Structure 1
Amino acid sequence: MAEGSPRTDTSTDIDTDEKNQQFEQGHLATIAASDSSDRSKEKTSDQKTLRRLAQNREAARKSRLRKKAYVQQLESSRVKLAQLEQELQRARQQGIFISSSGDQSHSMSGNGALAFDMEYARWLEDQNRQINELRAAVNAHASDTDLRIIVDGIMAHYSEMFKLKSTAAKADVFHMLSGMWKTPAERCFLWLGGFRSSELLKLLAHQLEPLTEQQLGGICNLQQSSQQAEDALSQGMEALQQSLAETLASGSSGPTAGGSGNVANYVGQMAMAMGKLGTLENFLCQADNLRLQTLQQLHRILTTRQAARALLTIHDYFSRLRALSSLWLARPKE
């Protein structure tokens, strides 16, 4: 028994050491597994961050490309506009819109409506300059001779506008009749692509006093004749619209309604409608001739100073209409 006791103690120590070693190994394995899990999580987080950064860089790159394309488009539009302005300037110098002999060209380069709108803007600027010159001369009590020169220049300027409209009507009569080149407030009083001469005379009659009995009678007769001419043109337009509506409503509903006969019917129907639309240009020219003749006859009835006051009144009236349109468009909107 004395010999067996030491061997038992040695065996117990060996078992304890083995357990300690296994515990340490297990602990180290747990730590290693934990470190591996942490590194995996960090790696996953880094990958997400990298993907997010890459997506942000790609979005920023696309945004820069879109901005660059937009700037290039704006620059291209600016260049095209400058080229168009140069072409219009050359056209004016070469007399494409109005020749020096007074004959008008039947064609307008480029878009007829856009060309006229730009010509009208130029005409309006020139008219503002002439009216300012006339106003200064009236306020300075210039002589009748000086006033007559300015008044005659403004009358010639109105004549130029009606020639421009006649040329533009050959390119796009619908644009001229609709008055899209005018402000919304002006279009409220539009009649056949312009103002009513009779209404304008009513406005002027109260602004030009004192007038002689002969002048009052002349203006009254002019107002009545203008009203009659306007009524005749309005009736003609109504008849044209009615005839056009009947032409379009009659016959087949379209070229594919069935059979070659329907196709021929449709073609003939549209040809008749096109022929009737051709008279729109004639109505517009007659209305503009009435407007020009009314201004010219009014000029002959009035004295030079009265004619100057009449031109200032007409200009101020249309200027207020344009200002009213600007105020309306700029009003606060809820």
Structure 2
Amino acid sequence: MIGIYESNSNNTNWNANTTNLDNALENASPEAPGSSKSYENEGNKGGEKVQRRLAQNREAARKSRLRKKAYIQQLESSKIKLAQMEQEVQHARQQGVYISGQVGELAGAASSGIAAFEIEHTHWVEEQIKRATELRAALQARVSDIELRMLVEGMISHYDSLFQIKSIIAKSDVFYLMSGKWKTQAERFFLWIGGARPSEILKILTPQLEPLTEKQADDVNNLQQSCILAEDALSEGMDKLLQVVSQTLTSRPLGDSSSGVLSHSEEMVNAMCKLESLVSFVTQADDLRQKTIQQMHKILTVRQAARGLLSLADFFQRLRALSSLWAARPRDPT
């Protein structure tokens, strides 16, 4: 957790920031124009379409569960190997012998987890493109609010599934996740602790949502400020972790054997233990991203939310297209 590497005051700031994010909209009007009460009155309009959409959603959810189950099964062997490595590390701390012979085995376990994640993420992107296409068609056809709401909630649920598979790979290989190798080159330009900054997401969404009511504009602004404060706290914690790991690795001069093998082993083990906190940072960053999407959903009408989610999907699709163009660009001969 961040509090391990920050002062009590910094930890308090982070807790306050996340609390602010959770409560930023507590006093918001529970019924935005065109939100649940206004379109629930439509009753059974478009009943057949709704039933069709429900069936499609159930089938998509079933396929997603099957893929997720296979993905988790592929990672089970990796988790077992990682657990064995943790036992070896503890043994090294007690015996003073750092077992480096298992590094190759650990790398193999991590590689298996990475391959499974990349397959699952590819499926996620394909499904995201499909959902965005359906949402665009629904907006153009001006379907009922109740139908549109189902599409919006389906896309938000799809983002939730992304955070779930990211949490699994973070425990398997957090450095891979934070490196952004699973993203295209242009997407990496916006990378912050394993994903985009929530405040940047809001900057992308907000212009597409106008006109906003005065209340909505205030709520969006409050959410933006809460995101920035939380991002700053996380970034500060990351900087502190970097400093602590550096100090741990340089506490003894390189090649100094005066303290014996035990001290060297403990130094490396201590550094590894501190690096494990990276998983917590990624988890908190994704939690912030997830809450930002959920809070925006609460602020907006169903049609505003649909436009915002479509704009977000289009933005990242254009980044992927830009990456393809960048990779295919003519290069001067060296």
Q: 2:69 aligns with which of 83, 95, 98?
A: 95
Kept in 1, the 8 Å contact 2:78–2:113? The answer is: no
For residues 325 and 308 of structure 2, the distance between their equivalents in structure 1, rounded to whole angstroms, comes to: 26
Distance 1:212 1:98, change over 3 A: farther
Q: Equivalent residue for 2:298?
A: 300
Tell me the equivalent position of 2:137. 136
Query: Residues 198 and 223 of structure 1 are in contact (CA less than 8 Å); yes or no, is this contact kept in structure 2?
Result: yes
What secondary structure sits across from 1:265 in the alignment? helix
Alpha-carbon distance between aligned partners in 1 of 2:77 and 2:130, rounded to the nearest angstrom: 27
Give the conservation status (yes or no) of the 8 Å contact 2:186–2:320.
yes
Give the Cα–Cα distance (whole angstroms) in 2 for the partners of residues 284 and 213 of structure 1: 34
Task: Summarize the Cα distance change of 1:150–1:192 in structure 2 as closer, same or farther, 3 Å threshold.
Answer: same
Structure 1 residue ranges, 4+ long, deviating more than 4 angstroms after superposition? 96-99
> 1:149, CA displacement in angstroms?
0.5
User: How many pairs are equivalent?
Assistant: 239
Where relative contact order (Cα < 8 A, 6+ residues apart) is larger, the structure is 2
Contact kept? 2:71, 2:116, Cα under 8 Å: no
Listed one character per residue, the Cα deviations across residues 259-315 of structure 1 (whole Å, up to 9, x for unaligned) are 6x3311110100110110010000000000000000000001000000000001001
Distance 1:252 1:268 in 2: 14
Matched, 1:272 2:263: no
Distance across 1 between alignment mates of 2:68 and 2:125: 21
Aligned CA-pair RMSD: 2.3
Match of 2:20 in 1: none
Change (3 A) 1:112 1:331: same
Aligned-partner Cα distance in 2 for 1:258–1:280: 30
In structure 2, give the amino acid aligned to 1:107. K
- Residue 98 of structure 1 and its aligned partner are, at CA, apart by 6.0
Q: Is the 8 A contact 1:177 1:192 kept in 2?
A: yes
Q: Could you tell me how far apart the structure 2 residues matched to 1:213 and 1:105 are?
A: 53
Q: Normalising by the residue count of structure 2, what TM-score does the alignment of the two structures yield? A: 0.68
The 3 A distance-change label for structure 1 pair 106 and 219 is: farther
Q: CA deviation at 1:106?
A: 8.4
Among 279, 287, 302, the alignment partner of 1:281 is 279
| Structure 1 position 206, deviation (Å) | 1.5
> In the aligned structure 2, how far is the partner of 1:200 from the partner of 1:148?
21
Which structure 1 segments of 5+ residues have no match? Answer: 1-88
| 1:107 Cα deviation from its structure 2 partner | 3.2
Work out whether residues 67 and 120 of structure 2, in 8 Å CA contact, stay in contact via their aligned partners in 1: no
Gaps of 5+ in 2: 1-62, 81-108
| Structure index of larger Rg | 1
Counterparts of 1:102-251 in structure 2 under 5 Å? 107=79, 111-251=112-252
Aligned-pair distance for 1:203?
A: 2.2
Higher mean C-alpha displacement, 153-162 vs 108-117: 108-117
Structure 1 residues 92, 170: closer, same or farther in 2, change over 3 A? farther
